[in-house]
Amino acid sequence: MTVQEYLQNRPYQPSALKYDTLTGEEDVVAKAIKEIRAMAAAGQRLCLRFSGGKDSIVVKRLCEMAGVPYTARFSRTSVDPPELLRYIRTEHKDVIVEDPRITMFQLIIKKGFPPTRLCRYCCQEFKERNVCGRGDGILTVTGVRKAESPRRKSRSKYETCQADKGVNFFHPIVDWSDDQVWEFIIDEKLPYCQLYDEGMSRIGCVGCPLASSDKIEAEFRRFPNFEKAYLWAFEKMLEGRHFDRWKTKYDVMDWYIYGSGEACDKAAVCGQFDLFDEDYFDRLGGDGTTYALEAEQVKTVLGM
Ligand code: SF4
């Protein structure tokens, strides 16, 4: 469903951004601005982890409306959709863009197996490494929302990362619904990435192992050059290896899209991986275990 279809089909409401409470009408925008100002007034340095997605553009606008000093940072992953990069370059020139020190494809070759739902070494490299900073005076601001996924339902507005001690998070729109996010974007006339108009509901790394098989398939249809690049990496990864049940890059691709879930489950049962899910901002409470595996472990995990 495209953004326009979504907006046309939702039930009528005077404004999704205001609602009645026991103490009167509450305006979620005014509330968020007040809280952002309070954090800045308390001496916190605000650093927005910007993704270019709908939630982070809302938080960025709220910081602007609050009139507080903040910085916004975007970490490229090398599998970002070109439309997203173009949108950030043209509409958010003030965002600091951090280049990756290695590409996803080089990383796959180096690790010897593709990232999986349970073994997201790419997230560690591209996202977790690039936190805004540690310490009491720095707040990493994000667009994380409870409505994004069942797993995020229990998220709080203020959190401290147990996996990376000393990193403090502030999620100003954690309680906002999808309607509220889009209503704000339309009200404020915020330009957004064109991929939403193609029906994408979440925009991020192309071919992310956290996505469903259907979504990965659709992304590779939409971005065929990324599929080619993954296949290139799988081929390079297999060079000189004899222990594999994978004989060709296509076997790896098949496993990557349709079969890795089973191997992940097996690995998790064996206790070889920590069970964490989603992306970096869902890792709160994890123990920060490294993902780097030895060749023997790779064989076990992949059932070779
Ligand atoms: S979002 Fe997905 S593809 Fe991107 S770095 Fe994290 S696990 Fe890897």
Which one of 159-173, 220-234, 287-301 scores highest in mean pLDDT? Answer: 220-234
Average pLDDT, the chain: 81
- Whether this prediction's pTM lies above 0.85 is answered by no
Residue 279: per-residue pLDDT: 46
Instruction: Give the Å distance between the CA of 88 and the centre of ligand 1.
Output: 19
Name the residue with tokens 């173009």. 86
Does residue 273 register a pLDDT over 70?
A: no
List all residues 6 or more positions away from 74 whose beta carbon is below 8 Å from its beta carbon: 50, 51, 52, 88, 92, 95, 96, 97, 98
Q: pLDDT category, 124, cuts 50, 70, 90?
A: confident
Q: Give the nearest ligand 1 atom to 120 CA.
A: 7
d(CA 45, CA 169): 11
**Measuring CA to CA, which residue among 147, 174, 185 is closest to residue 58?**
185
- Output 237 or 289, whichever has higher pLDDT: 237
Proportion of the chain above pLDDT 70, given as a percent: 76
Which residue minimizes the CA distance to atom 3 of ligand 1?
208
d(CA 286, CA 275): 9
Half-sphere exposure in the Cβ direction for 29 (13 Å, CA): 18
Instruction: Give the Å distance between the CA of 122 and the centre of ligand 1.
Output: 6
- Output 65 or 20, whichever has higher pLDDT: 65
Lowest mean pLDDT among 10-14, 89-93, 190-194, 218-222: 10-14
Does residue 131 register a pLDDT over 70?
A: no
Lowest mean pLDDT among 124-128, 163-167, 263-267: 263-267
Q: Which residues line ligand 1 (CB under 6 A)?
A: 77, 115, 120, 122-123, 126-127, 204-205, 208-210, 279
Residue 210: per-residue pLDDT: 85
List all residues 6 or more positions away from 8 whose beta carbon is below 8 Å from its beta carbon: none
**Measuring CA to CA, which residue among 79, 60, 83 is closest to residue 200?**
83
Residue 265: per-residue pLDDT: 54
Which one of 211-215, 271-275, 287-291 scores highest in mean pLDDT? Answer: 211-215
Q: At what angle do helices 224-238 and 104-111 cross, to 10 degrees?
A: 20
Instruction: Give the Å distance between the CA of 136 and the centre of ligand 1.
Output: 28
* Domains of the chain listed by start with CATH number: 3-108+129-198 (3.40.50.620)
Instruction: Give the Å distance between the CA of 208 and the centre of ligand 1.
Output: 5
